[in-house]
């Protein structure tokens, strides 16, 4: 008897069958014209089977499951009500990202940006000071945890959500560059620079010059007007989709690993943890009674008693420690909690979509010139200018949030002069950016930083290093990338599925859900920002609050349940939050079985 998966694969093969002419050319079954024939236009169809699994990834076959609370709601947050959804197949890292992996990332950034833009490196540096505790001696971890080889296979911590997202983007480019070099399509670049290094998005735009212009190694272009050679295209099936953070639904689905508990479509045991049973010890006869995850067993007990350590880890543990779940994923409970892509809302489970659930969509498109062509790649660093201004001065209406407002001493004359110069310069830059004079704005920002922070070093301005580090946190685009912008309502007037770019507040922070506001002009005056979360007064929730999942080495067993959820501002980091990357699965959901 043929299994249903085999029938599905056979159907795919039949659907992809094409007609061959007497001369062996592959024909279109709808028009009759030959594929891959330069005589009739040269429409190329590349042979393709299935998506390759990227480095470090494991295929997570999707399906339906009940997302949400599997344990009692002891926190009484009521933010994780069970709800059935479907998650499509995707890929996820087998382990958390290690210190060694992140050091490789930092090394590459130093090679490329150290001479021209050290702020990009500063932006990526993990905060090693997260290990400090006012009533504990953790300085050895501050000094050694990230860089000492003893910890190289341990999960990286002190990384905020923005840094984790940037790492995923960098990894996409390095993996795709490696693939093209291995295929002989791209020359190995031994000296990448800030404005001349491989970027996947820029490479896929043929009009943009730079990496990938070597005609000796490009693919043959059989189109009559193709010029003989071309770069690889997405249609060739060579490049992989982007690495990214997993969504909350993907992470929770992968952590539960219910594929090991299904008989046909029946889940024989609903799990509380990524393993069967309601206890945190193994029943394996060879390791009977051993802990199956790295967590805090009880108050003050992080590792057990000498001679028989229960989890053999005082803080974090190597990423391959303990047993993997049924998808082959390690440490989906314990060790470190993990960032996911979603923006936090307490009632997410009440208004989430039942397929591929996610909150946090901000739709963007590439900036184009007046001819409609995609604008050239960036040669300057782009910042969130308004974010920097708010960081320096404080958010309007929120006292005590500005850098200079929070100084522990009164700024001296030189520091006050620096503040005034930065504020006035940023206001002028914001005006240029609002007028869509993007290049002028980025040039003016580079000049402002050069004039105020680099040209005249002074020992009287003690806050200069902190200001430079703070400004680096607001980098939103780097040299070598393509410039993007939010889509506008005007270009989406005929759409029915969405209109505006930012959908973080959809069904949650819209005009109807505001509190203490009855006037539409009041809504517009706040740039469409919801007032239902009074940040700093009644709530810590903003559109920058990101979900992190799973328990850590500091948590009790309750947080090991995949259905639990917490949040933290995307610019903050801790000593118990790490991350792992995911990738979309394209094509069939079942892979090469």
CA distance 528 to 507: 13
pLDDT in tens, 347-365: 888 888 899 999 999 999 9
Q: How confident is the model at residue 337 (pLDDT cuts 50, 70, 90)?
A: very high
Q: Kindly tell me if the per-residue pLDDT of 259 is higher than 70.
A: yes
454/243: higher pLDDT: 243
Q: Tell me, what's the pLDDT at 72?
A: 80
Pairing of strands 243-244, 229-230: unpaired
CA angle 199/205/208 to nearest 5° reads 80
Q: Which two tokens stand for residue 279?
A: 């206890």
Q: What is the longest distance spanned by two Cα atoms in the chain?
A: 87
Phi-psi region at 78: left, alpha or beta (left = phi > 0; alpha = psi -120 to 50): left
Give the model's confidence band at 343: pLDDT under 50 very low, under 70 low, under 90 confident, else very high.
Answer: very high
State the pLDDT confidence band at 582, using cuts at 50, 70 and 90.
very high
Q: pLDDT tier at 17 (50, 70, 90 boundaries)? A: very low
The lowest-confidence range among 232-241, 370-379, 505-514, 563-572 is 505-514
Taking residues 214-231, report their average pLDDT.
Answer: 77
> DSSP characters for 345-385?
-TTHHHH--SBS-----B-EEE-B-TTSPBPPPPSS-EE-H
β-pairing verdict for 577-578 and 337-343: parallel
Q: What is the pLDDT of residue 248?
A: 96
| Domain residue limits, the chain | 4-40, 382-477
Number of other CB atoms surrounding residue 93 within 10 Å = 26
Joined tokens for residue 133: 């505790």
Rounded Cα gap, residues 103 and 156, in angstroms: 9
166: helix, strand or coil: helix
Q: Please give the pLDDT value at position 526.
A: 52
Contact predicate 357/67, CB 8 Å: yes
**Quick one: pLDDT at residue 134?**
95
How many Å from the N-terminal Cα to the C-terminal Cα in the chain?
A: 17
Q: From CA 367, how far away is CA 386, in angstroms rounded?
A: 20
Taking the whole predicted model, whether its pTM rises above 0.85 is answered as yes
Mean pLDDT to the nearest integer, 77-90? 89
Res. 239: pLDDT tops 90: yes
CB atoms within 10 A of CB 15: 7
Look at 231-240, 380-389, 469-478, 517-526 and tell me which has the smallest mean pLDDT. 517-526
Distances in whole angstroms, Cα of residue 422 to Cα of each of 264, 386, 390, 391, 428: 64, 12, 12, 12, 10
Cα–Cα distance between 84 and 457 in angstroms, integer? 59
Place of tokens 């820029």: 202
The DSSP secondary-structure symbol of 482 reads: P
Count the neighbouring beta carbons within 10 Å of the beta carbon of residue 340: 27
DSSP assignment letter at 242: P
Confidence of residue 514 (pLDDT cuts 50, 70, 90): low
Weakest-pLDDT range from 133-147, 187-201, 322-336 = 187-201
Quote the pLDDT of residue 216. Answer: 66
Lowest mean pLDDT among 7-11, 164-168, 335-339, 514-518: 7-11
* pLDDT band, residue 518 (cuts 50/70/90): very low
Which DSSP letter does residue 130 get? G
Ranking 41-55, 227-241, 381-395, 531-545 by mean pLDDT, the lowest is: 531-545
pLDDT of residue 219: 85
Least confident piece of the model among 225-234, 251-260, 373-382: 225-234
Percent of the chain whose predicted confidence (pLDDT) is above 70: 88
Quote the Cα angle for 268-94-98, to 5°.
Answer: 140
Q: In sequence order, which residues have a C-beta less than 8 Å from that of residue 83 and are 6 or more positions away?
A: 66, 67, 68, 349, 352, 354
């Amino acid at each position: 008897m043929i299994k249903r998966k085999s029938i599905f694969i056979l159907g795919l093969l039949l659907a992809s069958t094409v007609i061959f002419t007497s001369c062996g050319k592959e024909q279109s079954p709808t028009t009759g014209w030959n594929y891959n024939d330069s005589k009739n236009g040269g429409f190329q169809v590349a042979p393709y089977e299935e998506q390759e699994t990227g480095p470090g990834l494991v295929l997570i076959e999707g399906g339906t499951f009940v997302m949400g609370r599997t344990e009692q709601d002891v926190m009484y947050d009521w933010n994780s009500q069970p709800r059935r959804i479907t998650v499509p197949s995707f890929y996820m890292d087998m382990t958390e990202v290690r210190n060694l992996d992140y050091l490789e990332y930092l090394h590459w950034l130093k090679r490329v940006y150290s001479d021209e833009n050290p702020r990009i490196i500063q932006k990526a540096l993990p905060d090693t000071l997260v290990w400090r505790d006012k009533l504990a001696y953790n300085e050895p971890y501050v000094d050694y945890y990230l860089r000492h080889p003893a910890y190289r296979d341990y999960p990286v911590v002190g990384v905020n959500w923005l840094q984790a997202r940037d790492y995923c983007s960098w990894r996409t480019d390095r993996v795709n560059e490696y693939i093209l070099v291995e295929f002989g399509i791209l020359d190995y670049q031994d000296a990448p620079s800030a404005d001349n290094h491989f970027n996947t998005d820029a490479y896929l735009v043929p009009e943009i010059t730079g990496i990938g212009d070597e005609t000796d190694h490009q693919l043959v272009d059989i189109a009559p007007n193709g010029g003989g050679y071309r770069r690889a295209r997405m249609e060739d099936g060579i490049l992989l989709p982007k690495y990214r953070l997993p969504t909350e639904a993907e992470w929770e689905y992968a952590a539960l690993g219910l594929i090991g508990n299904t008989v046909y479509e029946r889940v024989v045991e609903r799990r509380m943890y990524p393993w069967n049973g309601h206890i945190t010890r193994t029943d394996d006869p060879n390791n009977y009674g051993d802990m199956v995850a790295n967590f805090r067993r009880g108050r003050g007990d992080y590792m057990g008693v000498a001679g028989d350590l229960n989890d053999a880890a005082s803080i974090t543990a190597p990423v391959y420690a303990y047993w993997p779940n049924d998808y082959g994923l390690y440490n989906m409970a314990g060790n470190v909690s993990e960032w996911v892509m979603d923006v936090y809302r307490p009632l997410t489970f009440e208004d989430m979509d039942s397929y591929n659930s996610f909150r946090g969509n901000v739709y963007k498109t590439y900036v184009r010139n007046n001819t409609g062509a995609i604008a050239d790649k960036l040669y300057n660093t782009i910042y969130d200018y308004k974010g920097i201004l708010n960081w320096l001065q404080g958010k309007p209406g929120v006292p005590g949030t500005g850098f200079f407002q929070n100084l522990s001493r009164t700024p001296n004359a030189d520091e006050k002069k620096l503040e005034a110069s930065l504020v006035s310069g940023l206001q002028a830059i914001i005006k240029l950016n609002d007028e869509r004079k993007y290049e002028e704005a980025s040039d003016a920002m580079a000049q402002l930083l050069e004039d105020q922070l680099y040209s005249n070093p002074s020992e009287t301005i003690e806050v200069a290093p902190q200001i430079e580090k703070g400004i680096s946190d607001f980098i939103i685009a780097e040299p070598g990338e393509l410039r993007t912008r939010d889509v506008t309502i005007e270009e989406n007037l005929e759409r029915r599925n969405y209109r505006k770019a930012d959908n973080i507040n959809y069904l949650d922070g819209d005009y109807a859900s505001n509190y203490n506001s009855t006037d539409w002009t009041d809504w517009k005056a706040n740039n469409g920002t919801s007032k239902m979360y009074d940040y700093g007064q009644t709530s810590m929730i903003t559109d920058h609050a990101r979900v992190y999942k799973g328990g850590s080495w500091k948590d009790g067993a309750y947080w090991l349940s995949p259905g639990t959820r917490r949040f933290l501002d995307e610019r903050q980091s801790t000593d118990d939050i790490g991350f792992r990357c995911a990738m979309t699965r394209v094509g069939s959901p079942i892979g090469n079985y």
